[in-house]
Each structure stands twice: as C-alpha cells, then as structure tokens.
C-alpha cells in the first residue's frame, strides 16, 4: 500500500508505483488522503497512478491536530481492510506521518521514501521536521536520496542494513515526464523568465506579504516575466494576490498539472521557491534556485552551488535575484553546478531492495513479524 495526500507525494511515489506494477511480485494499492485533493485529481492519471481509496479528509482551515486524528483513524481502517504486507510513505507531510503511524499500530512494516532529511531545527520547517523524525523512528526501510541523508540516519542510530541510498525519485519522474514531451510552458514573453512558488506555513502571513511586495519590485525591472502558479491555500492567496495580481510583469496562474509544470521549469531562467521538491528538480535542468527560507533540509544543492539559501528578507531576495539576472558569470556558475540528487533510477533501486527482502515467502513472514526494532512480534 502506497499512501499519499499531496501533489509532491504523488510526483515522487509515481515512479515507485509504476516500477511495482511492472514487477511480478508486487501489487501496488494506492490510497490518497486528499490533503491536496484538487491538485492530486488533475495529475494522478497523467502519471500513470490509479487510486483505490480516497479518504477526502480535508476541511477548510482545519487544525493540524484535527487533520492528524482523522488521518490516523481513516488510514487505520483502510489498512485493516486491505491487510497489506507493506506500507510505503514518502517525505514529511502529515499524510506520511499518519500513514506510518497507522501502519505501526496495525503491525505492518513501513518503507520511507526520501528518508533522512533534516534541518536540525524541530519547528522549521513546521511541522515537516518533526514529521520526518517521527517517521524515522517507525520505518523499517529508509530509502535515503543522498549519502548525506543516509549518514544522518546512521548518526541517529538506524541500523546500517536498513538504510539504502537510492537517489531521489523526483528525478525519475521529471526525466520521465520530459521524455514524454506532453507539457506546455506557460511563459509567454521573451523576457527573462522567473518561476516563483511560495506556500510554506512558516512563511505565511506578514512575511509572505513582504516577499510578495519585493517580488513586485523585481517585476518592475521591465525585463522580467514572473510566473506564479498560485497555491490554493487561502492564507497564501490572501498574502500574495494583493501584491502581485494585475502587474504586467507577473502572470498569476492556477496550479499547473505536472506535465505543464515540468515544461515551465525547463523553460525558465531562474527559480525562486520555498518548496522542497524544486530544490531537487531545478539543478537537474541547470536552473539556478534561490531558496526563500531560513533553513533547508536539502543542503546538497547549496553545497554543490546549484541553489542559494537567501532567507526571507525582501532586500536580500531582490539583491540575490538581481545578481543572477545581471551577472552572466555568476549565473553560469550556478547553472553548471550539476545535480546531487540522483540519476533517475531511484525507484528501480527501491523495488530491487524490496524484491530482495520480500521475494521468498519466509522473508515476507519475517518482515511482518520484525519490522523496526521498536515493533513487538505479532501474536
């Protein structure tokens, strides 16, 4: 069973679903929680992912405690009905945490895709840093995207045989989608093309309004076309629309399906983002990324020189973007830094390891009795 609720989870688990479906050993069952329901519906079919169950748990402006309670209850019910041999979760969302926790309660072992990411600050990003640390205490298989992530897990005491470095599945999917060639860029002018995404909880409110005002000033240059696929969160829209809507240098569009988003990313010159996934995708296509956050759990891109952590101060953001737009040498340095997140074969490695562990019938039985060290034997 693969549990997903957000668009990034769908993007990153789609290659695993496809690889499992192509295997004679696995029968993937996809369960969605509907955490990003509208965005999920527009793209799952495009990615070749069929969904068996949709819990549809979202409510307008709900508290995390309310969402968590509904998710654990709903996913527990589905797991008891389906009795999977394995539950796969991805990343650090509330859906991923609740999928892992519900599986733990039902004595089903957990595989964590994109394991080992850390900022070292428990509430930044919020609540993702706590989520991924808790999933790390539950999971039996830790599929780390990079050597740094794997080393972090080992430092936390995860047994080495449970940590597998795979690369990031987002690269698998990005290369697959671009090879399909079905998407269309939404940029419309010959100006310098800047792709902007903002949505994180810790940036919402006055901080996001200030960043929106700064980005309006960036568009005032006159030689920039800034495209903002606007997140559906009411808090994000309330912060950004008053600052950016109606500016001739800004195109505010609805969330793009993944095919169009990939084509738009491939067409842009510069990425400004507080997203995690874009920090991984942009280097694959040679697109410099300015990360509008104070911390990142993906320091590999920063260390490689493909991304820069610029924070949320409006003047700093403007200065960093202006430098890349006006300094060809600095732009070329970042654009040519390369991608530290893998070669597009992460899902293949994940399924190969699970095949090795689940192939013999006795291995299945053993895995179900002895998941992580914290599991009690099933009576």
Q: Cite the active site residues.
A: 92, 114, 128, 199, 201, 231
Q: Are 144 and 165 in contact (CB under 8 A)?
A: yes
Tokens of 297: 């759990």
Q: Are 260 and 182 in contact (CB under 8 A)?
A: no
Q: Which residues pair with 371 in a beta bridge?
A: none
User: Within 13 Å and on the Cβ side, how many CA atoms surround 275?
Assistant: 23
* SS percent in the chain: helix, strand, coil, step 5: 50, 15, 40
User: Within 13 Å and on the Cβ side, how many CA atoms surround 80?
Assistant: 9
Tokens of 295: 């911390």
Who's near 317: CB < 8 A, 6+ residues apart? 211, 214, 215, 218, 272, 290, 292, 310, 311
Q: Report how far residue 166's alpha carbon sits from residue 338's, in angstroms, rounded to the nearest whole number.
A: 18
| Alpha helix stretches (DSSP H) within 181-294 | 206-219, 234-244, 258-267, 277-284
Helix axes 314-326, 206-219, angle to 10 degrees: 30
Tokens of 357: 């562990």
Q: Are 281 and 263 in contact (CB under 8 A)?
A: no
| Alpha helix stretches (DSSP H) within the chain | 7-21, 37-41, 64-82, 94-105, 128-138, 147-155, 169-180, 206-219, 234-244, 258-267, 277-284, 299-304, 314-326, 328-335, 346-358, 361-369
Q: Which residue has the tokens 């919020």?
A: 126
Tokens of 346: 């992460």
Closest CA to 358 of 145, 141, 154: 141
């Amino acid at each position: 069973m693969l549990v997903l609720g957000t668009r990034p989870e769908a993007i990153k688990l789609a290659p695993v679903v496809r690889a499992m479906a192509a295997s004679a050993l696995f029968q993937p069952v996809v369960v969605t929680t509907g955490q990003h329901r509208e965005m999920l519906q527009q793209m799952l079919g495009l990615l070749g992912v069929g969904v068996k169950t949709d819990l549809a748990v979202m409510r307008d402006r709900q508290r995390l405690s309310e969402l968590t309670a509904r998710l654990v209850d709903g996913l527990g019910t589905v797991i008891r009905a389906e009795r999977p041999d394995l539950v796969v979760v991805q990343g650090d969302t509330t859906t991923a945490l609740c999928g892992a926790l519900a599986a733990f309660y039902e004595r089903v072992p957990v595989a964590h895709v994109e394991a080992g990411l850390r900022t070292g600050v428990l509430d930044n990003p919020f609540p993702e840093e706590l989520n991924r640390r808790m999933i790390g205490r539950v999971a039996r298989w830790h599929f780390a995207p990079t050597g740094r992530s794997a080393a972090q897990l080992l430092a936390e005491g995860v047994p080495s045989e449970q940590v597998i470095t795979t690369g990031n599945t987002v690269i698998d999917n990005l290369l697959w989608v671009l090879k399909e060639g079905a998407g269309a860029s939404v940029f419309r002018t010959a100006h310098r093309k800047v792709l902007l995404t903002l949505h994180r909880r810790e940036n919402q409110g006055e901080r996001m309004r200030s960043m929106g005002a700064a980005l309006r000033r960036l568009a005032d240059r006159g030689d920039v076309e800034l495209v903002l696929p606007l997140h559906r969160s009411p808090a994000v829209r309330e912060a950004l629309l008053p600052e950016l809507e109606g500016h001739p240098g800004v195109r505010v569009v609805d969330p793009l399906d993944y095919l169009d988003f990939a084509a738009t990313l491939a067409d842009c010159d510069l990425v400004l983002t507080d997203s995690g996934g874009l920090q991984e995708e942009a280097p694959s296509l040679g697109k410099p990324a300015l990360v509008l956050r104070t911390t990142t759990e993906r320091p590999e891109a920063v260390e490689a020189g493909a991304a820069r952590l610029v924070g949320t101060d409006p003047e700093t953001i403007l200065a960093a973007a202006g430098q890349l737009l006006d300094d060809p040498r600095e732009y070329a340095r970042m654009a040519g830094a390369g991608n530290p997140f893998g070669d597009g074969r992460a899902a293949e490695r994940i399924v190969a390891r699970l095949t090795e562990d689940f192939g013999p019938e006795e291995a299945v039985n053993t895995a179900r009795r002895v998941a992580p060290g914290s599991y009690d034997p099933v009576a």
